[in-house]
C-alpha cells in the first residue's frame, strides 16, 4: 500500500526560481501518478488547501507561509507511443524536466520543439500557459494532455482541440482552473525538419555560428545562446522570466498610441488585434534596470523582475504593481501578470 510521506514546515526557497522563503505547512512529492487520488483524498479529508508545484519557475509566493498541502509533481519518463515514417508520438510524464525532454529528443533527430529550448520548469506545467518562445508554441506540437480531475476524482485525456490554447492561456487557466493535476503530456514530433528562423535574431545568430542549413540541434543551440544573452539565470538571480504578458489590444487602440508614440513596436495577433511589447512599455516608463531594495528589473530586460537578495514576495508584488500602474498612467494599457501569484 502507498504511504503518503508528508513533510511538515518545509522551506520552499529552493523549489521556486524567485528564491522566496515560504514555509509549506505540509508538502509531499508525487513520484508516481497512481498515487494522485490518495493524495487528493488526504487533502480533502482534512480540508487542506492544495498547491500543485512543478519546477516553481512561473509562480510567486507572496506570504511567509503556505497553509495547506504542497504537492510537488515528480513522476518522470519519456515513452514512444507510436511511430510512422514522418513522425513520432511521445508521452512525457508531468514531472519530467522540460528542457531535458527537448534535449534528449532533439538529439534523437526529432523536431518541432527546438525553438522551445531552455524554458525552465517541468513538462506538466507547459500546457497550462501554452509555453511559447522564438516563433513556436506548445499548442503546435501537443496532441493530448492527461490529467486527474480533482472534483470528479478520475483520470482524463483531452485532445489539443479541447484545450482552448491561446497566447499564454488554455482551458487549464480558465474553465477548469484549480480542478486538475496534469500527469502526462503527449507530443507529436517530426522526423523531417522545417526550421523556424523568422523570430528576432535567430537568423543572425545562426550566421554568426557559421550555419547555413540548420539541423534541429543547431537551432536549439542558437536559441539557447540568445536566451543566455537576454535572460538572467535564475540559479544566479531569482526571477520567473517575463513577469507580465505582452498586452493584446485592438488595432484602433494602436493607432491612437501611434499618434504620440510613433515608434511603438507591435506584432500580429488574432484578427483586429495586435500584441504590444510589455518590455518596451515598461522601459519607456523608466523601469529598465531600476532597483528598489532587494528587487528591481533585469538590466538587460525590463519585463523580468528579479530578486537581487532576500526579497520577500510582498516586496516583489508591490514593485510589480508600481510598474503596472505606471504603464497604465502613461499608455492607458493594462498589463497582466504572466506569473501565478500564490496568496
Ligand atoms: P510552476 O511554476 O511550478 O507552476 C506554474 C503553475 O502551474 C502553477 O499555478 C502551478 O500550480 C501549476 N502547475 C504546475 N504543474 C502542474 C501540474 N502538473 N498539474 C497542475 N498544475 C500544475 N515561459 C514561456 O512560455 N516561454 C519562455 O520563453 C519562458 N522563459 C522563461 C525564462 C526564465 C528564466 C524563467 C524563470 C521562466 C520562463 N518561462 C517561460 C516561464 C516558465 O518557465 C514556464 O511557464 C514553465 O512552463 C513553468 O513550469 P514549472 O514546472 O516551473 O511550473
Ligand atoms: N523590449 C524593449 N525593452 C526591453 C525588453 C524588450 O524595448 O527591456 C522590446 C524590444 O523591442 C524587443 C521586444 O521588446 O525587440 C521583444 O523582446 P523579446 O524578444 O525579449 O521578447 P518578449 O516579448 O519580451 C517574449 C516572451 C518570452 C519569450 C520571448 C522570445 C512573453 C510575455 N514573453 O518576450 O517568454 O522567451 O518572447 O520568444 O510573451 C516568459 O514567458 O517568461 C518568457 C521569457
Question: What's the gap in Å between 277 CA and the centre of ligand 2?
Answer: 7
pLDDT digits (tens, 9 = 90+) for 242-266: 999 999 999 999 999 999 999 999 9
pLDDT at 1 exceeding the cut of 70:
no
CB 190 within 8 A of CB 86: yes
Question: What's the gap in Å between 279 CA and the centre of ligand 2?
Answer: 6
Residue with cell 526571477: 239
Residue 53 phi/psi, 5-degree rounding, is: -115, 125
pLDDT at 4 exceeding the cut of 90:
no
Atom of ligand 1 nearest to the CA of 134: 28
Give the residue, by CA position, lying nearest to ligand 1 atom 41: 58
pLDDT given for residue 2 in this prediction: 66
Residue 233 to residue 20: CA distance in whole angstroms: 16
Residues with CB under 6 A from ligand 2: 133-134, 200, 230, 241-242, 245-246, 265, 277, 279-280, 283, 288, 301-303, 338
Give the residue, by CA position, lying nearest to ligand 2 atom 29: 133
Give the residue, by CA position, lying nearest to ligand 1 atom 20: 181
pLDDT at 221 exceeding the cut of 90:
yes
What is the reported pTM?
0.98
Helix (H) or strand (E) holding 222: helix 216-230
Judged by its nearest atom, the ligand closest to the C-alpha of residue 17 is: 1
Give the residue, by CA position, lying nearest to ligand 1 atom 24: 131
pLDDT digits (tens, 9 = 90+) for 264-300: 999 999 999 999 999 999 999 999 999 999 999 999 9
Q: Residue 248's beta-bridge partner residues?
A: 275
Residue 61: which pLDDT band, with cuts at 50, 70 and 90? Answer: very high
Q: Taking the chain, what is the end-to-end CA distance rounded to the nearest angstrom?
A: 34
Residue 200: which pLDDT band, with cuts at 50, 70 and 90? Answer: confident
Q: What is the largest CA-CA distance in the chain?
A: 68
Q: Tell me the pLDDT of the chain averaged across its residues.
A: 97
Question: What's the gap in Å between 108 CA and the centre of ligand 2?
Answer: 30
Which residues carry out catalysis?
168, 242, 338
Which residue out of 114, 129, 279 has the highest number of ligand 2 atoms within 8 Å of its CB and is therefore the one to mutate? 279
Fold of 7-73: 3.30.43
Residue 239 to residue 252: CA distance in whole angstroms: 34
Q: Residue 160's beta-bridge partner residues?
A: none
| Residue 157: Cβ within 10 Å count | 13
Residue 92: which pLDDT band, with cuts at 50, 70 and 90? Answer: very high
Residue 334 to residue 44: CA distance in whole angstroms: 37
CB 94 within 8 A of CB 113: no
Distances (CA, A) of 333 to 74, 256, 310, 330: 39, 12, 31, 8
Atom of ligand 2 nearest to the CA of 131: 41
Beta strands in the chain (DSSP E): 7-11, 23-30, 50-53, 59-61, 65-73, 78-83, 87-93, 132-133, 136-137, 142-149, 154-159, 180-190, 238-242, 248-250, 266-268, 273-276, 291-292, 295-298, 301-307, 340-342
Joined together, the cell numbers standing for residue 323 give 510598474
Q: How many residues does the chain have?
A: 343
pLDDT digits (tens, 9 = 90+) for 98-132: 999 999 999 999 999 999 999 999 999 999 999 99
- From the number of C-beta atoms within 10 Å of its C-beta (0-12, 13-18, 19+), residue 208 rates as exposed
pLDDT given for residue 291 in this prediction: 97
pLDDT at 3 exceeding the cut of 90:
no
Percentage of the chain modeled with pLDDT above 70: 99
Region 233-342: CATH code: 3.90.78.10
pLDDT digits (tens, 9 = 90+) for 20-47: 999 999 999 999 999 999 999 999 999 9
What's the CATH architecture for 78-229?
2-Layer Sandwich (3.30)
In short, whether 128's Cβ falls inside 6 Å of ligand 1 is yes
Domain boundaries, the chain: 7-73, 78-229, 233-342
pLDDT at 148 exceeding the cut of 80:
yes
Amino acid at each position: 500500500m502507498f504511504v503518503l510521506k508528508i513533510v511538515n514546515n518545509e522551506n520552499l526557497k529552493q523549489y521556486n526560481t524567485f528564491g522566496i522563503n515560504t514555509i509549506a505547512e505540509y508538502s509531499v512529492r508525487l513520484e508516481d501518478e497512481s498515487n494522485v487520488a490518495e493524495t487528493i483524498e488526504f487533502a480533502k479529508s482534512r480540508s487542506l488547501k492544495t498547491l500543485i508545484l512543478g519546477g516553481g519557475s512561473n509562480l510567486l509566493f507572496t506570504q511567509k507561509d503556505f497553509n495547506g498541502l504542497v504537492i510537488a509533481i515528480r513522476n518522470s519518463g519519456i515513452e514512444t507511443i507510436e511511430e510512422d515514417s514522418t513522425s513520432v508520438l511521445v508521452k512525457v510524464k508531468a514531472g519530467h524536466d522540460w528542457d531535458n525532454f527537448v534535449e534528449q529528443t532533439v538529439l534523437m533527430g526529432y523536431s518541432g520543439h527546438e525553438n522551445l529550448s531552455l524554458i525552465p520548469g517541468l513538462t506538466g506545467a507547459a500546457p497550462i500557459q501554452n509555453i511559447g518562445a522564438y516563433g513556436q508554441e506548445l499548442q503546435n506540437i501537443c496532441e493530448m494532455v492527461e490529467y486527474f480531475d480533482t472534483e470528479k476524482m478520475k483520470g482524463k485525456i483531452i485532445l489539443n482541440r479541447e484545450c482552448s490554447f491561446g497566447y499564454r492561456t488554455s482551458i487549464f487557466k480558465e474553465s477548469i482552473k484549480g480542478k486538475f493535476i496534469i500527469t502526462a503530456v503527449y507530443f507529436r514530433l517530426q522526423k523531417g525538419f522545417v526550421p523556424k528562423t523568422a523570430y528576432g535574431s535567430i537568423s543572425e545568430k545562426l550566421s554568426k555560428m557559421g550555419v547555413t542549413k540548420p539541423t534541429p540541434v543547431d537551432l536549439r543551440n542558437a536559441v539557447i545562446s540568445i536566451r543566455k544573452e537576454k535572460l538572467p539565470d535564475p540559479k544566479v538571480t531569482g526571477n520567473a522570466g517575463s513577469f507580465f504578458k505582452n498586452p493584446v489590444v485592438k488595432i484602433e487602440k494602436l493607432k491612437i498610441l501611434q499618434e504620440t508614440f510613433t515608434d511603438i513596436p507591435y506584432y500580429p495577433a488574432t484578427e483586429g488585434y495586435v500584441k504590444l511589447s510589455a518590455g518596451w512599455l515598461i522601459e519607456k516608463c523608466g523601469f529598465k534596470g531600476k532597483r528598489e531594495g532587494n528587487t528591481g528589473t533585469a538590466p538587460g530586460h525590463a519585463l523580468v523582475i528579479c530578486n537581487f537578495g532576500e526579497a520577500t514576495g510582498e516586496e516583489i508584488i508591490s514593485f510589480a504593481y508600481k510598474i503596472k500602474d505606471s504603464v497604465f498612467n502613461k499608455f492607458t494599457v493594462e498589463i497582466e501578470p504572466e506569473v501565478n501569484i500564490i496568496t
